[in-house]
Chains A and B, each alone.
Chain A
Amino acid sequence: MEGFLHQVFAGLATGGIYASVALALVMIYHATHHLNFAQGELAMFSTFIAWALMQAGWPYWAAFFATVAASFVLGLLIQRLLLRSFEDAPVLTNVIVFIGLLVIFNSVAGWIFDYTIKPFPSPFPKDAWYVTKYFSGHEIGSVGVTLCVLALLYSFFRFTPMGLAMRGAAQNPDSARLVGIRVSWMLGIGWGLAAAIGSVAGMMVAPVVFLDPNMMSGILLYGFASALLGGIDNPWGAVIGGFIVGVLENLMGAYVIGTELKLAVALLLIVGVLTIKPSGLFGRVVVTRV
């Protein structure tokens, strides 16, 4: 029983990380209705920025917030400079461009920062008051950070005029444009926010998996699985999906199939959810008119 509980709680901790990746994916989906395959590599790249800042002697939290800001700008720039011309392009074009971005970020990170595996510090001390038998400081800290990000996002979309404008631009671009919302900029800000959330996810995951250019490939898949399980258009769903996937992955790894096949769990989850319940657990069922 003790061991089982340990597995569940460890799963919740990793789930928090999947949840933040899923949140970033949901963000982009909200704003652009695209699945961003480059999300993981973008997060990895941001984490390297944070690492570089810390190497230069910045304290953790200064580097953290500087990275979040830099990632926001980076995401905004990518959308403004690169993706704007593909806004109305077919899905295939978009997927190809995303894959192009994935490859570029991966190789540029390797080019600049090298492929050696680097340790990344955690801001949460090992002996803090909130450390319990089941959770390490970093685990509980990263779950807390994810929940904070979720709360911030929720209030942004729910209570600010900008959030309302973004929701409008995503749901009905034509009418939104008619009431004076600059739809294209809203997409850009959506990208910026997603990159910023992704950078938080990257900095939370790096102390666990260590920092290297390929650290996000598996996590991105889990992020997708979480987002789909929770419903790709629902931030709360994405977070709950993340925790479910984290626990499921850990239990399957510990008791059923062993650690080597963990990625296959994510694959099965994705295909299963998409075939059986494409809208996810908490998503809205979309009906299109033909």
Chain B
Amino acid sequence: MNASDRKWMLIGSIVLLVALCTVPFMVKNFRVFQMNLVLVYAIAILGLNILTGFNGQFSLGHGAFYAIGAYTAAILMDRFGVPYWATLPVAAVICFLFGLVIGFPALRLAGHYLALATFGLALAIPQLLKYKLIEEWTGGVQGIVLSKPEVPFQFALFGQKMSSDRWLFFVSLAVTVFMFWVARNLLAGRVGRALIAIRDHPIAAAAMGINLPYFKSITFGVSAGFTGVAGALGGVVVAFVAPDSFTVFLSISFLVGLVVGGLASIPGAIFGAIFIQFVPNVADELSKSAPWALYGVFLIALMYLMPTGVMGLLKKLWARRRRAPAEAETAGQP
């Protein structure tokens, strides 16, 4: 990266930062709520991407970890009066442990079979959450209704007050930035290379001295932890959890987001999240089932045309833009 690139990056990030801080005050409360969900989904998809994109282990059941995270937050807030921000690390730890428990048998399951086992988990989770013995905690079919957190201070911009949704936007933004920072640091170094090596050639990776069972199960845990944080944050943002919001279709949404954003791409998760939040809203006007038909068509079409997702496309365009002036320069020389 040369100096002019760096200058543009800096300018770009400042513009982005200012935009992110002012946009919530320029739109209606409901839009802010939707933006919060985009951030939440971005974290969830990032978690799935660590597992599926980088490590090559399937999961069609990440909705289950999302549900566990959401229920952890809800139960802690509802029964124990824990403040909302303190539920996030707890959800991360609990989901990490659940991920390890699921990831351990997953060591013996490759490819399809892992997809199948996690698919089963996604199908079974609403039933498990409705189970009678834990009804006292989970509220059964009714779920748990939460209240949105109070805004800690008074503030207004463009004549719009800081509502609890706007406040949550900044909380979610901070959490998202933190999670992406963690993911980047995790994946950019030795661990990330080990994960990719396991995905591309497990036998060669083992020969290089990578401890496969250790890495694979820890990755499952970390991935579940990320999605659990997303779930907890989602529970806080929506202020309601119920078993039937965590059906198998939630897990499929995450998969759609992952594929749209781009496998094995960290920023891709954001594009994926924007897609799964806003495209169904647009398609919904056509017919009740249109969003899902569209999801399916997108899944298959992307596999045909753009297997690397939005990020892959952007990278390709960027590379072409960079190459064009360089070629022009060399062509001018004798």
Q: Which of A90-98, A167-175, A236-244 contacts B (4 or more CB under 8 A)?
A: A90-98
Is the pair B292, A278 in contact by a Cβ cutoff of 8 Å?
A: no
Residues in chain B near residue A100, CB distance under 8 A:
295-300, 303
Main secondary structure of the interface of B (DSSP, over half): helix
Is the pair A96, B128 in contact by a Cβ cutoff of 8 Å?
A: no
A164 within 8 A of B: no
Contact residues, B116-132 vs A (CB, 8 A):
116-117, 119-121, 123-124, 127-128, 130-132
Nearest chain B CB to A170's CB is how many angstroms away? 15
A264 within 8 A of B: yes
Closest-by-CB residue of B relative to A101 is B296
B115 within 8 A of A: yes
Q: Which of A44-52, A61-69, A107-115, A131-139 contacts B (4 or more CB under 8 A)?
A: A107-115
Decide yes or no: A217 and B248 within 8 Å by CB, A35-B116, A101-B300, A270-B116 being known contacts: yes
Decide yes or no: A91 and B121 within 8 Å by CB, A99-B252, A103-B252, A107-B289 being known contacts: no
For the complex, give the distance between the alpha carbons of A111 and B291 in Å.
11
Is the pair B288, A95 in contact by a Cβ cutoff of 8 Å?
A: no
Is the pair B132, A93 in contact by a Cβ cutoff of 8 Å?
A: no
Q: Which of A145-153, A177-185, A203-211, A255-263 contacts B (4 or more CB under 8 A)?
A: A255-263
Is the pair A107, B296 in contact by a Cβ cutoff of 8 Å?
A: yes
- The tally of CB-CB contacts under 8 A between chains A and B is 133
Q: Which of B67-75, B103-111, B323-331 contacts A (4 or more CB under 8 A)?
A: B103-111
A5 within 8 A of B: no
For the complex, give the distance between the alpha carbons of A35 and B116 in Å.
8
For the complex, give the distance between the alpha carbons of A224 and B123 in Å.
13
Is the pair A263, B117 in contact by a Cβ cutoff of 8 Å?
A: no
Closest-by-CB residue of A relative to B288 is A110
For the complex, give the distance between the alpha carbons of A257 and B208 in Å.
47
Decide yes or no: A82 and B108 within 8 Å by CB, A106-B292, A224-B116 being known contacts: no
A221 within 8 A of B: yes
Closest-by-CB residue of B relative to A263 is B124
Residue interface mask B85-124, A partner, CB < 8 A = 1: 0000000000000000000010011011101110111011
B58 within 8 A of A: yes
Nearest chain B CB to A209's CB is how many angstroms away? 15
* Residues of A within 8 A of B (CB-CB), count: 45
Is the pair A102, B105 in contact by a Cβ cutoff of 8 Å?
A: no
Is the pair B116, A92 in contact by a Cβ cutoff of 8 Å?
A: no
B255 within 8 A of A: yes
Nearest chain B CB to A249's CB is how many angstroms away? 13
For the complex, give the distance between the alpha carbons of A285 and B116 in Å.
19
Nearest chain A CB to B111's CB is how many angstroms away? 4
Is the pair A275, B300 in contact by a Cβ cutoff of 8 Å?
A: no
Closest-by-CB residue of B relative to A275 is B105
Decide yes or no: A37 and B203 within 8 Å by CB, A93-B303, A97-B299 being known contacts: no
Residues in chain B near residue A200, CB distance under 8 A:
none
Decide yes or no: A99 and B299 within 8 Å by CB, A111-B293, A217-B123 being known contacts: yes
Residues in chain A near residue B124, CB distance under 8 A:
221, 263-264, 266-267
Is the pair A92, B300 in contact by a Cβ cutoff of 8 Å?
A: no
For the complex, give the distance between the alpha carbons of A81 and B78 in Å.
52
Closest-by-CB residue of B relative to A33 is B112
Find A107's partner among B131, B255, B293 (CB 8 Å cutoff): B293
Is the pair B131, A260 in contact by a Cβ cutoff of 8 Å?
A: yes
Nearest chain A CB to B279's CB is how many angstroms away? 13
A117 within 8 A of B: no
Is the pair A102, B116 in contact by a Cβ cutoff of 8 Å?
A: no
Nearest chain A CB to B204's CB is how many angstroms away? 10
Decide yes or no: A95 and B115 within 8 Å by CB, A106-B292, A275-B105 being known contacts: yes
Binding site for B on A (CB under 8 A): 34-35, 37, 82, 85-86, 89, 91-93, 95-97, 99-108, 110-111, 115, 217-218, 221, 224, 228, 258, 260-264, 266-267, 270-271, 274-275, 278, 290
Binding site for A on B (CB under 8 A): 52, 56, 58, 60, 105, 108-109, 111-113, 115-117, 119-121, 123-124, 127-128, 130-132, 203, 248-249, 252, 255, 259, 263, 287-293, 295-300, 303-304, 307
Given contact pairs A103-B249, A110-B288, A264-B127, a sample of 20 additional A-B residue pairs in the complex whose CB atoms are under 8 Å apart:
A35-B113, A37-B116, A95-B58, A99-B255, A99-B296, A101-B300, A103-B293, A103-B295, A104-B292, A104-B293, A107-B293, A110-B289, A111-B287, A111-B293, A217-B123, A218-B123, A221-B120, A267-B121, A274-B108, A275-B108
What are 12 sample pairs from A and B whose C-beta atoms fall under 8 A apart?
A95-B60, A97-B299, A102-B252, A103-B293, A103-B299, A104-B296, A106-B292, A107-B296, A228-B116, A261-B128, A274-B117, A278-B109
